[in-house]
Structure 1
């Protein structure tokens, strides 16, 4: 397995949603099938707004910043405190900071708020206000080292750590700040340690016009060699421990009193995941335990080695009665999807990935796929008591194998921080209420406040007029090389490509674009790029496609249709959490079974917009994004084993009106890091070799 997988740094720069419908949709998310099915909350908690109205599906385009004049006027009438030191208070979370002229406060200052599109400054140069005393530039430095840790009570040797910690310490910044990130690689500094490079990817940040800082070795940079410092944004070898939360403070669509912070959910492997990769080629690997914010309890009764296992602990936090609490959930797992609930408490969703949504109707639980992030509000309903926070692995991808129940972590919500007792609460979820398939949170509960495409999208127009990439899992043509993810008929199937790694009998690779992705860390795609570059100029194993509006077919949107599922050992198929760098996307259709275009809604009102979406087991996912961000951007499955096995492609994107030389200057690498990397790998002892796709 490659030494760097994307870090899952939760990026919380929010924009809005309102009151949705608590109902599960059928195989195809059809607006006309969910009318009139408003289901009341099962638990009691006060509403976020006075006299809330239910959001009917026909109102999806109305209840947005642009479509709801009343909502927007109320937001614009809100003001931060007089001194502007605190940009948003518990009663004005939708606002942000005043914009001042020099050192003098404007008489009529502009107040940024939740209806302010965070992409606008990129295009217009418009400024975003900062809290008083906050520097425009946030400088952060981290060191990457090896270390032994016991997150679930079992000693894991040679984990990769951020500043000596797992998870890495919280990184915080403010809306409107610029982040300068310096990474110091100390992997291999001590005698006997394996020398390794590293790279840092800021999961969820779109990096407009800035692909050089996307942090993907072989695509946007060479790896960072030992002792070299690099200012960048973040990415990591996360299954082995390099992962941490990032919180970007800004306006929220719902008011809250207490920020609980980021809550990282993960599956945990005691063995080094790099060692497990060869086995993952043959069968899905089941984790030893799960963790919540780096804590859990592993059953040590089967461990015989002295000093190897000791008692673990559960993560816990405190609620205050009568207060609203903000919880930021992030799935940082290698292969697990989680179902999150808090016994006897509802949750209100206000953010999905990088998109702020109107506060949802109260929900009993949320299902979080790998790489997804949700911000939720929870009301402190009780005066006292202890309650379980549950994060149940859904086993969506392993053909019946499961993590043992006694090794599944829980969190504890206390109303008295001095309690110290394990909760005795029972789950309020009933089997009959739960979806039968692994799927994302229902679209009715994640309605974006900032709608695009004039509030609605004509499905047929987008689906048939855009460049459509039909991606399907098919039955292997060669049994020695198993289930392949192919890119339709646009590119011929390549069986005997020299760049394909040799496989042993029974090993499996995922394939997209005809072959599995396999990169060369010493020759990143951005370094090969010039003003005349075409996909065919890159190695076949880089799996490059091109997106440009002026490319001769008047294409301004790209549609990926991902469907089918022929996975060895998983008769019911396996899920694929699909993620794209440099963009978010709208979801045109998503569901289980075979896609039927005829039964799909013709118009999609304010469709879901996010950067990670799940293709359900034996199902389909159709997504679309505009061609508007110059760069080389990765699209891949976020299930780490699948990404290592090649389930990825690269999008060479050129926006309309941008000529080649300009494009190249904004994208080309400086070359210094690659020179250092090449010198590093030629020295003795050599660092660990790449044995997978490289991403």
Structure 2
């Protein structure tokens, strides 16, 4: 009897999948990427990356099961480009993931590329450039995957997509960052914080008693933001494409690249409009200029003729905000804690000055340095040697994962800043972190770093939260687990673009022999490599004869001589300056000769008049 029931259920499921597949469609976007002018904060007009002559960029919208085709032409003229569809698993389509020199060559000016894959997921995502740190120049926007079968589909009347971001007045290439003039690695300060790509104030028109789904996406380059609505609470139903059990909350902390979907039910009155508040995490900023506005007010508009009050918040109070801890969220599918890992990867984040006097980011002792051949293309051309991590170079920090291994990553933070880490191709279980969100998030920022102790930790959750971007606390740690069930080359990196620029990344090469069986590079992608002058065969050094010979590979900047820390450099510089001034004083004094001894005064000297 049980077997008959199971057979019937399997048959019903198969019919459902066939029905879903017949409903799927192909959604095509043609993107002509060019420079346009924009002034989103009303303070400064600048060049931004536009699509089809417009900015803000279009939101990509598809239904689960659709095929998404994006034809991109790079018309920037002076910059290479690409697109990463953030949060998409790209199962069996690793070549469509988008990060340059990881899964593809950069798309040079005048070249075109086609991204073509089936969207098998649901939820809230975004897309952005993943070449030469270009997305802060405006090349980023939401990507929404609608799902009419979600458990909360009938629980809301309408939906809004809200993006938040930091904003810079200068092009990324014009901002001095990795330089000996910035030995502490202080991140450049943004000039504004945008809400749906503006600071002019947005009204979300709502009706009393209705429930709305708000999709929240931080598409910034650096700064996390707090989010809340005055006199309203909400229910969290999704994080990073993972449905969660409906959970009440009133404040969220949304790091760059993270997404939330929340249900908000309106009041039964039209007497007032209510501020929607976003507040930048000021703890991430080394300094706060007097003209940098950290908080933004937009509105749930019940009544267009009623007042639109400013939010009642000050910069001093934002550190007291107590957001909901995402570790407490339970996935709606109640996926259990993964078993003990087959492979444990233990890493520590360091920020160090290297031999050129500039500050770099490292995982253990490696600052990610891109290879001469995209890593996926090395996998495909290396034959049996694809299972040897050496062929991918010493400075890509490549780890070989076996198919279906349970992988645990322990990430300790030796830095006083927080880091939102993103893993391409996967969502991961979040099983431990210290300290937690809220008032304790910066508990370890002062004093010594606290590393994870596998023999002494809090209990792992039974149904851990899952997401694709998770925040590493200052001088704390987190522990995540995932199953290596998606053969491909997947970069794991901090999503603060300044830190990625400094090398805070590594590469997971998952089941390389299965990659060779599953992945076929389209001819269009090879043409992109040819136009860019980038090799698409060989090891990390471009060697096609001996894959174990890395002569000529790209290398990270060398180490400082022992004892040359940032403080040591500063002390040395000031010591040299003092010595130079001292020698100069002695030289000048010596050249002036020794004055003759003055005769003793016969009358009292007026000290006050002498000093004058």
Regarding TM over 0.5, the answer is: yes
| 1:392-434 residue CA offsets vs partner (Å, 9 max, x unmatched) | 0013433354684536433221002x33853255469996994
CA distance in 1 between counterparts of 2:454 and 2:378 reads: 40
1:388/1:405 CA distance change after superposition, 3 Å: farther
1:692/1:215 CA distance change after superposition, 3 Å: farther
How far residue 129 of structure 1 moved from its aligned partner, in angstroms, is 2.0
In the TM superposition, 1:249-398 aligns within 5 A as: 249-250=146-147, 251-254=149-152, 255-278=154-177, 282-296=185-199, 313-361=200-248, 363-384=249-270, 385-398=272-285
Larger-Rg structure:
2
CA contact (8 A) 1:334 1:640 kept: yes
How far residue 547 of structure 1 moved from its aligned partner, in angstroms, is 0.4
Q: Secondary structure at the match of 1:443?
A: helix
Residue aligning to 1:129: 20
CA distance in 1 between counterparts of 2:373 and 2:433 reads: 36
CA contact (8 A) 1:564 1:618 kept: yes
Residue aligning to 2:369: 518
CA contact (8 A) 1:544 1:652 kept: yes
How far residue 346 of structure 1 moved from its aligned partner, in angstroms, is 0.5
| 1:654-685 residue CA offsets vs partner (Å, 9 max, x unmatched) | 18xxxx3x531423534553444443559xxx
1:402/1:413 CA distance change after superposition, 3 Å: farther
Is 1:173 the counterpart of 2:70? The answer is no
How far residue 238 of structure 1 moved from its aligned partner, in angstroms, is 1.6
| 1:133-173 residue CA offsets vs partner (Å, 9 max, x unmatched) | x6521112112110110101023322111233333112211
How many residue pairs were aligned?
490
How far residue 556 of structure 1 moved from its aligned partner, in angstroms, is 1.3
CA contact (8 A) 2:351 2:360 kept: no
CA contact (8 A) 1:548 1:556 kept: yes
CA contact (8 A) 2:59 2:144 kept: yes
Structure 2 unmatched runs, 5+: 1-8, 117-126, 436-443, 445-449, 535-553, 557-612
CA contact (8 A) 2:282 2:294 kept: no
Q: Secondary structure at the match of 2:95?
A: helix
In the TM superposition, 1:437-448 aligns within 5 A as: 441-444=325-328, 446-448=329-331
CA contact (8 A) 1:368 1:440 kept: no
How far residue 370 of structure 1 moved from its aligned partner, in angstroms, is 1.0
In the TM superposition, 1:397-416 aligns within 5 A as: 397-401=284-288, 404=291, 406=293, 408-416=295-303
Q: Secondary structure at the match of 1:232?
A: strand
1:663 to 515, 518, 534: 515
| 1:365-410 residue CA offsets vs partner (Å, 9 max, x unmatched) | 1110111000001111142221111110013433354684536433
Residue aligning to 2:422: 579
Is 1:240 the counterpart of 2:137? The answer is yes
CA distance in 2 between counterparts of 1:155 and 1:231 reads: 34
Q: Secondary structure at the match of 1:239?
A: helix
CA contact (8 A) 2:407 2:484 kept: yes
CA distance in 1 between counterparts of 2:524 and 2:319 reads: 56
CA contact (8 A) 2:81 2:108 kept: yes
Deviates more, 1:222-231 or 1:370-379: 222-231
CA distance in 2 between counterparts of 1:244 and 1:366 reads: 20
CA distance in 1 between counterparts of 2:291 and 2:414 reads: 27
CA distance in 2 between counterparts of 1:164 and 1:111 reads: 44
Residue aligning to 2:345: 469
Q: Relative CO higher for 1 or 2, CA cutoff 8 Å, sep ≥ 6?
A: 1
CA contact (8 A) 1:128 1:176 kept: no
2:501 to 644, 650, 662: 644
Q: Secondary structure at the match of 2:79?
A: coil
In the TM superposition, 1:575-614 aligns within 5 A as: 575-592=418-435, 593=444, 594=450, 595-614=452-471
Residue aligning to 1:157: 46
1:109/1:456 CA distance change after superposition, 3 Å: closer
1:424/1:600 CA distance change after superposition, 3 Å: same
CA distance in 2 between counterparts of 1:432 and 1:169 reads: 32
CA contact (8 A) 1:159 1:240 kept: yes
How far residue 599 of structure 1 moved from its aligned partner, in angstroms, is 4.2
CA distance in 1 between counterparts of 2:491 and 2:128 reads: 13
1:225/1:440 CA distance change after superposition, 3 Å: farther
CA contact (8 A) 1:372 1:612 kept: yes
1:620/1:319 CA distance change after superposition, 3 Å: same
CA contact (8 A) 2:279 2:318 kept: no
Deviates more, 1:328-337 or 1:423-432: 423-432
CA distance in 2 between counterparts of 1:144 and 1:168 reads: 10
CA distance in 2 between counterparts of 1:405 and 1:615 reads: 26
CA contact (8 A) 1:198 1:225 kept: yes
Q: Secondary structure at the match of 1:634?
A: strand
Residue aligning to 2:27: 138
Q: Secondary structure at the match of 1:225?
A: coil
Residue aligning to 2:3: none
In the TM superposition, 1:57-136 aligns within 5 A as: 126-127=17-18, 129=20, 136=25
1:474/1:329 CA distance change after superposition, 3 Å: closer
